[in-house]
Amino acid sequence: MNLRQLARGKPCQVRAPNVCNGDRETTVLAHVRICGISGMGLKCPDILAAWACSACHTFCDSNHEHGRLLLLEGMANTLAILVNEGIIVAPEVEHRRPKLQKIVPRRLPPHL
């Protein structure tokens, strides 16, 4: 599945206050920039991106601190939608805490 093509026509998940234009026609896959994952000669994987309208994408690219946080939140929102729609399948958690079979009373100290 091409996540870049899938972003077309989707609602913006970055939703920067007083910036977002909400225009689904301009939605693209906006990639996060993380040192060691992207940069000179390193292409960020499409999974590390958010659906962003043109205004939010520009805002995130130009506003270092607040834009970066909004883009990360948008990435989490985008991933949640992709999982809920079955486009990305999340593996089951193998190491779940086992349920207690019975409740064992605590031993009281001998002096009580």
Give me the pLDDT at residue 31, please. 94
Residue ranges of domains in the chain: 3-84
- Predicted structure pTM score: 0.76
Q: Residue 33 has what pLDDT?
A: 86
Residues in the chain: 112
Q: What is the CATH number of domain 3-84?
A: 3.30.50.20
CA distance 48 to 75: 7
Q: Which of 43-47, 49-53, 67-71, 93-97 shows the lowest mean pLDDT across its residues?
A: 93-97
Q: What is the pLDDT of residue 107?
A: 61
Query: Nearest-5° angle of CA 88, CA 90, CA 15?
Result: 60
Task: Read off the pLDDT of residues 55-98 as tens digits, 9 standing for 90 and up.
Answer: 999 999 887 789 999 999 999 999 999 998 989 887 764 555 55
Instruction: Write out the catalytic residue numbers.
Output: 31
User: Phi-psi bin for 93: left (phi > 0), alpha (psi -120 to 50), beta?
Assistant: beta
* pLDDT at 19 exceeding the cut of 60: yes
